[in-house]
Amino acid sequence: MKWLHYFDGFSQAVLIDVIAAILAFITWKKYRFVLGRDFFLFMLFLFLVVFTEVVGQYSAFIYLQDLDDFQFFCDYPGFLYSDWLLNIYSVMSFVMLGLYFRMQFINKKARQLFGIVIVLFAIATTINLMVTDIFFKSFSKFTDGIGVLLLTAIITYYYYEILSTDSILKVKRSFPFIVSIACLVYYLCATPLFLVYDLLLFEEVVLGVYYDNILTFLNIFLYGMFIFGMLTCYWFNKSLNTKFS
């Protein structure tokens, strides 16, 4: 029964992520001659998500076993939980999404400015993970907090350029625009939960009961929007598909 419970939780966690990543790969293969480097980066981001989800399940697997059978984790208990992996993923995901939206910019100076900011973010968050004891202990609130502010600023400028140009006429079939909406809703809703995670975990707070359900819903919304965007902007886009008929 323990194994059944383990794989049930595993499948629920990664199924929609895997679907989104596979669809992105198929989309890239079919439309690679019209898709830019930005979509390729987005596809890599999705595979990073799947990789982290799959590999991160090792901690749940170890939890169900006799720890004495795994000498490595006895010698290095910091790796017993996957917090270290999630902290690395958190930095990389914000960097990759930031670069993805930066690629949508028309203004060269804005691309340069936000490029520098993204590099500084990567350096600052990496240093924070190295000099503090948070790397193996828990999620880095510093990474999540600063990362959301950075991503929100980049997306806000992306919207500014849309409103300032004729790009606003194309948002109906704009995949980056759909991705931006999904990311804003997800991170602005999920990040406050991440930041108060310890409170929800150790205190008797009513919201703590619904923590997992809320994150599951947000996860389905995020990757569901990605799937919806790829289908509507590429697969069901008649003007695009006539080029491949």
39-62 pLDDT tens trace: 999 999 999 999 998 888 777 666
Contact 1, 214 (CB under 8 A): no
Helix/strand/coil percent split, the chain, to 5: 85, 0, 15
* CA atoms of 116 and 113, how far apart (whole Å): 5
Record the pTM: 0.87
Query: What is the pLDDT, as a whole number, of residue 232?
Result: 93
Write out residues in the chain with pLDDT < 70, as ranges.
1-13, 60-79, 197-209, 238-245
Query: What is the pLDDT, as a whole number, of residue 56?
Result: 80
Q: Which residues contact 191 (CB under 8 A, 6 or more apart)?
A: 144, 145, 148
Query: What is the pLDDT, as a whole number, of residue 61?
Result: 67
* CA atoms of 95 and 27, how far apart (whole Å): 23
Query: What is the pLDDT, as a whole number, of residue 34?
Result: 86
Question: Distances from the Cα of 68 to the Cαs of 82, 84, 111, 136, in angstroms?
Answer: 18, 21, 52, 20
Contact 53, 17 (CB under 8 A): yes
* CA atoms of 219 and 186, how far apart (whole Å): 8
Structural domain tally of the chain?
1
> In terms of residue numbers, what domain contains 54?
2-244
**CATH for 163:** 1.20.1070
Query: What is the pLDDT, as a whole number, of residue 83?
Result: 87
